């Protein structure tokens, strides 16, 4: 069963809104896995030194509720490793905000899945970067496909709607058809994928992870076939833009969403190093206004232009620069 229709932040003019339609909140940078492609460079021992306290996190949740933000996702890192994870889930769902959890699936015990269901979580997205243990376990260092699949079975048993995310790599791209089939067979209502992005951990692992560009046409052709095959039973979403095209598009068409980092700073988009405020000290309204101004900054457009000449500057992912003014 699919959850209620989610908001589509890409289709809304941000200037018409008093708050974002969607907030992607990375509640910790700590993770039990060390994935080769992780855009956040998360992993064991990778929590930020200044991650939000429970009190600070609850304060941000209360702002999201007061501002009537309709939809939020909790991700990481691995969000379920935060000791106050379920407290945060309960506070935001009881406040009427639609919540999605993005997880690697390794903490989805029957008990945890029942709690997610009882707390009204709208969906749980699990990353399955491969249809075989060999490819999944290679991409998700310290992970096990069997554990993730067991977690998905527990979600299904608890009645929690399931989404699957797949990141292509050199060693799994030809499994895409099997991966979509697997997603359907385990009860997912949607499947998401797109090109591997040259950012985060992928910058240093590009030689072993990047698919051959010649493999992408068949990859997307298969996805188009699967979209038709599963029409009415499972939604298949895929994004054909590369990183630079995506950023150029966002420069002209900012989506009605922003990203909260584990320490409360707010980013424009994952692949850029720019922040537009800090929810530990700024109100959500202030940050939203700064977000809209930031996308018009010459520093942002210049960075994107430079990226075309030197893709390696994306390695500055965590060297944040604030734009947008106050």
- Residue ranges and CATH numbers for the domains of the chain are 21-240 (3.20.20.70)
Closest C-alpha among 266, 58, 185, 309 to residue 177: 185
Q: What is the pLDDT at residue 325?
A: 64
Residue 5 has a CB neighbour count (10 Å cut-off) of 6
Please identify which residue in the block is written with the tokens 């530990």: 280
Q: What is the pLDDT along the chain (326 residues), one digit of tens a residue?
A: 444 434 445 545 576 788 999 999 999 999 999 999 999 999 999 999 999 999 999 999 999 999 999 999 999 999 999 999 999 999 999 999 999 999 999 999 999 999 999 999 999 999 999 999 999 999 999 999 999 999 999 999 999 999 999 999 999 999 999 999 999 999 999 999 999 999 999 999 999 999 999 999 999 999 999 999 999 999 999 999 988 899 999 999 888 999 999 999 999 998 899 999 999 999 999 999 999 999 999 999 999 999 888 988 887 777 788 887 65
Q: What is the pLDDT of residue 326?
A: 55
What is the Cα–Cα distance from 180 to 233, expressed in whole angstroms? 12
Q: What one-character-per-residue DSSP string does 263-285 give?
A: TSEEES-TTS-EEEEETTTS-HH
- Sign of CA pseudo-dihedral 9, 10, 14, 17: negative
pLDDT at 187 (0 to 100) = 97
Side-chain-side CA neighbours of 127 within 13 Å: the count stands at 25
β-pairing verdict for 265-267 and 274-278: antiparallel
Cα–Cα distance measured from residue 315 to residue 199, given in angstroms and rounded to the nearest whole number: 7
Q: Give me the pLDDT at residue 130, please.
A: 94
Query: What distance in Å separates the CA atoms of residue 129 and residue 312, rounded to the nearest whole number?
Result: 24
pLDDT of residue 123: 98
């Amino acid at each position: 069963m699919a959850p209620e229709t989610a908001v589509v932040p890409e289709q809304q003019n941000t200037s018409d809104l008093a708050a974002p339609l969607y907030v992607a909140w990375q509640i910790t940078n700590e993770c039990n896995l060390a994935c080769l492609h992780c855009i956040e460079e998360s992993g064991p021992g990778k929590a930020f030194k200044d991650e939000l306290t429970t009190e600070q996190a609850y304060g941000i949740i209360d702002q999201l509720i007061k501002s009537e933000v309709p939809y939020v996702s909790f991700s990481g890192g691995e969000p379920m490793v935060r000791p106050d994870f379920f407290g945060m889930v309960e506070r935001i769902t009881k406040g009427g905000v639609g919540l999605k959890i993005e997880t690697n699936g390794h903490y989805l015990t029957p008990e945890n899945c029942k709690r997610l269901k009882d707390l009204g979580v709208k969906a749980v997205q699990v990353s399955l970067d491969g249809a075989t243990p060999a490819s999944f376990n290679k991409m998700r260092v310290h992970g096990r496909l069997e554990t993730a699949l067991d977690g998905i079975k527990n979600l299904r048993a608890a009645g929690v709607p399931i989404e699957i995310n797949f990141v292509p790599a050199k060693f799994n791209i030809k499994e895409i058809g099997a991966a979509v089939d697997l997603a359907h067979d385990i009860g997912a209502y949607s499947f998401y994928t797109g090109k591997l992005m040259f950012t985060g951990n992928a910058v240093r692992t590009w030689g072993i992870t990047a698919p051959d560009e010649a493999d992408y046409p068949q990859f997307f052709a298969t996805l188009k076939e699967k979209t038709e095959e599963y029409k009415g039973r499972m939604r298949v979403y895929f994004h054909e833009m590369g990183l630079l095209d995506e950023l150029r598009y966002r420069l002209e068409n900012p989506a009605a969403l922003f990203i909260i980092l584990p320490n409360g700073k707010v980013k424009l988009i994952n692949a850029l190093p720019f922040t537009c405020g800090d929810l530990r000290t700024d109100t959500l309204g202030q940050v939203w206004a700064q977000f809209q101004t930031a996308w018009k900054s010459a520093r942002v457009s210049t960075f994107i232009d430079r990226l075309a000449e030197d893709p390696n500057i994306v390695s500055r992912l965590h060297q944040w620069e604030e734009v947008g003014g106050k």
